[in-house]
């Protein structure tokens, strides 16, 4: 497996092709679609709970909601496996490159229960 060990789950708003390409490159990535959670009307709160139950950080474009969710979870002493936010609008190749760089440079321990913004 490539990277430092973060297992990743991509939110419904992230193209399934991102997870597929990262998986092909050797990263442990599961898309919302491949998990059977796509188009189910599941809440933003449910998604990181699902990811955490499988020991996965979540990658999402939904920056505003997940920043609020992270704060609310911390206020409630709830723990997640990490939230990685990136604004929508990036080219898929760029998103894959930045995510791979993150997975290659951040350990699961560093990512645990933290919200991180992917930067260019």
**pLDDT digit string, tens, across residues 68-94:** 999 999 999 999 999 999 999 889 999
Q: What is the pTM of this model?
A: 0.96
Taking residue 42's Cβ as centre, other Cβ atoms within 10 Å add up to 15
Residue 98: its pLDDT value, please?
97
Buried b (16+ CB within 10 A) or exposed e, 45-82: eebbbbbbeeebbbbbbbeebbeebbeebeeeeeebbb
Residue 119: its pLDDT value, please?
80
Residue 46: its pLDDT value, please?
94
DSSP classification of residue 58:
E
| Domain boundaries defined on the chain | 8-117
The CATH number, out of the four listed (1.10.600, 3.30.40, 1.20.1740, 3.40.50), of the domain defined by the range 8-117:
3.40.50
Please report, to the nearest 10 degrees, the dihedral formed by the alpha carbons of residues 37, 95, 115, 45 taken in order.
-20
pLDDT > 90? residue 44? no
């Amino acid at each position: 497996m490539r990277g430092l060990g973060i297992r990743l789950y991509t939110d419904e708003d992230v193209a399934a092709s991102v997870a597929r390409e990262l998986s092909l490159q050797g990263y442990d990535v599961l898309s919302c679609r491949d998990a059977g959670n796509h188009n189910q009307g599941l809440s933003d709160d449910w998604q990181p709970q699902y990811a955490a139950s499988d020991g996965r950080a979540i990658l999402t474009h939904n920056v505003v909601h997940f920043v609020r969710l992270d704060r609310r979870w911390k206020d409630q002493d709830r723990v997640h496996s990490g939230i990685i936010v990136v604004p929508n609008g990036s080219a898929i190749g760029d998103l894959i490159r930045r995510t791979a760089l993150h997975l290659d440079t951040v350990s699961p321990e560093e990512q645990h229960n933290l919200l991180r913004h992917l930067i260019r």
